Amino acid sequence: MNIPKIPLGDWIDVFVDWVTIHFAVFFAFLTTTIEGLLNIIVDLLSVGPPIVLIIVLTLLVAYTSRWPLGIFTLISLLLIENLGYWDSSIQTLAIVLLSGLLTIIIGIPIGIWCAQRKTVRNIVTPILDFMQTMPAFVYLIPSILFFGIGVVPGIIASFIFAIAPTIRMTNLGIQEVPKDLVEAANAFGSSKSQKLFKVQIPLAMPTIMAGINQSIMLALSMVVTASLVGAPGLGADVYRAVSKIDVGTGFEAGLSIVIIAIILDRITQNLRNPAYKHIVKPKVIFSALAALIIVGVAVMAIPEKEEIGGNANGIGKQTDYKIIGIEPGAGIMSQTNTAIKDYHLDDWQLVEGSSAAMVAELKKAYAAKEPIIVTGWSPHWKFSSFDLKYLDDPKGVFGGSEDINTLVRKGLEQELPGAYTILDQFFWETGDMEDVMVDIENGMSAEEAAEKWIEANPDKVAEWTKGAQAGNGESINLVYVAWDSEIASTNVISKVLEQQGYDVTLNQVEVGPMFAGIANGSADGMVSAWLPSTHVEYYNTYKEDLVDLGPNLQGTKNGLVVPEYVDIDSIEDLK
């Protein structure tokens, strides 16, 4: 069918851009409010030594779910503290609690409205169906544009993903209240509010609590996904472990998430009908918790002496002492952490996320002419689209010029000699890669941009394929990390291999799995190894189990990047 493609994606982009511009003040207010609430919860949970919160949670779980689970809670939380994940657990618990609070505040009234109005229910139900079936990652895209990177888009995405059960179960619980009881309330002359709060909600409370429980569990399941946009906590620890293929760290952080999930699940399941309510009345327990919260708030209110660094009114204050980074497993992130130590930038924080999230933040700041500091590397299309500069690196932390090498698995030369030859002879210039990246950024698909470059550069392609045996439909699997530069190079070499008769499969992975895949033979090759410094850790780990075909591009650069309008020139200016 030759029906033109409906530009639905373009319409969505235009709409999102319009919303981002015209509601910028609202989003800024919402960001400030959510960050403020989260900081209050984190500070409240962090009052006093960890053992205080451990004892409180242990007693609460024991009261609601019997003493064996209380003992489990005590041992598990002590284990988390011993493993060094207490601060991350506090961050995760705060994110889940705030997301859960938002689902209760917004979800229960909507559920009540749905139960009382069939028209509202008919409108809300398909929206909830859409929200529950849409992949969770999709919620992160507009969240980044509206709220930037950090914890706020993670909370918003978690809230949207988790609110559906609360709305559905509130609606269901109220609808299932026996009609004869409702009729009896009407017969006694009850008003709508009296009927709702005295009859329907109390009888529907078990169902409503089940919905809240499911919403909290869904919010907790989002913590790893939210870490992709810079949300802190255990999710970031898991994401970091995946990027580096650190099995031990991944297991420890994952186990901590499981422990928190069990604790929250048991508390929310039994909160309305605690196991020992016959010994201590719930009102007493809730009063004690309220008193503890009041004491915690009072302790938080005690002013602390603030130490203001020398840059209090400079670039640090303007950027909230944040350097916007990319994936935690990237070599440039390790280099930036080293720079923070070597330059004694004690007040500064490196925000983990992704390259796409970093670019989104850069676009937003650049459009508003606001200062921003990002991790940067060349070649990258952003240097063609924005007027940027590298900060001088007097200590040489980011190293000098680097190469991008081609690595393949052992045995590829014998099994697919033609593909091996093409990969071995693949070499291009920085300008070539940037041409492809700019086309992709301007709206072309990666495949279309690669084909366009190949058609415009037949001589270079001929050099790569010179003397290479043509393929006959043999499969070859290339892996790459989702950096704009690697998307460009991998798609170009993929199209060249396809033109030579090979069946090419591309797999996007994190940096660690990219190297591991070549080393264990589950992938055939990659053109994405930044050496000798960016990926040196992974290269040294796996170099005995792979074949290094040398550079496919020379003259790359890493460092900290700012827009030209930012009035600093060196990393030392960040002090």
Per-residue pLDDT tens for 105-121?
999 999 999 998 999 99
CA torsion sign for 273, 274, 275, 281 is negative
- Can you tell me which residue has the tokens 């043509």? 470
Residue 553 has pLDDT above 80, yes or no: yes
DSSP string, 227-269: GGGT--SHHHHHHHHHHHT-HHHHHHHHHHHHHHHHHHHHHHH
Residue 292 has pLDDT above 90, yes or no: no
Tokens of 22: 């015209």
Residue 382 has pLDDT above 90, yes or no: no
pLDDT score for 401: 82
521: left (phi over 0), alpha (psi -120 to 50) or beta: left
Tokens of 525: 């090759």
Share of the chain above pLDDT 90, in %: 50
Residue 405 has pLDDT above 50, yes or no: yes
Phi, psi torsion values for 232, nearest 5 degrees: -80, 180
Alpha helices in 521-558 (DSSP H): 536-542
Per-residue pLDDT tens for 309-329?
444 458 888 888 999 988 877
Q: What is the pTM of this model?
A: 0.76
Region 63-72 average pLDDT: 92
pLDDT score for 303: 65
Per-residue pLDDT tens for 423-477?
999 999 988 998 999 898 888 899 999 999 999 999 999 999 999 999 999 999 9
Residue 232 has pLDDT above 70, yes or no: yes
Return the exposure string of 335-358: e unless at least 16 CB atoms fall within 10 Å of the residue's CB, then b: bbeebbeebebebbebbbbbbbbb
Identity at 300, one-letter amino acid code? M
- Own/partner long-range contacts of 382-385 (Cβ < 8 Å, ≥24 apart): 383/434, 384/434, 384/437, 384/438, 385/438, 385/441
Q: What is the mean pLDDT of the chain?
A: 88
Whole-number Cα distances in Å, 88 to 94, 161, 210, 226, 253:
10, 22, 27, 14, 9
DSSP string, 294-310: HHHHHHHHS-------T
| DSSP 8-state assignment for residue 544 | G
Confidence of residue 152 (pLDDT cuts 50, 70, 90): confident
Cα separation, 273 vs 9, whole angstroms: 49
Cα separation, 311 vs 318, whole angstroms: 10
pLDDT score for 308: 45
Share of the chain above pLDDT 70, in %: 98
Phi, psi torsion values for 357, nearest 5 degrees: -65, -40
Cα separation, 189 vs 558, whole angstroms: 74
Lowest mean pLDDT among 4-8, 87-91, 164-168: 4-8
pLDDT score for 312: 45
Are 94 and 38 within 8 A, CB to CB? yes
Lowest mean pLDDT among 224-238, 335-349, 499-513, 543-557: 224-238
Cα separation, 437 vs 287, whole angstroms: 60
pLDDT score for 380: 85
Confidence of residue 304 (pLDDT cuts 50, 70, 90): low
Residue 2 has pLDDT above 80, yes or no: no
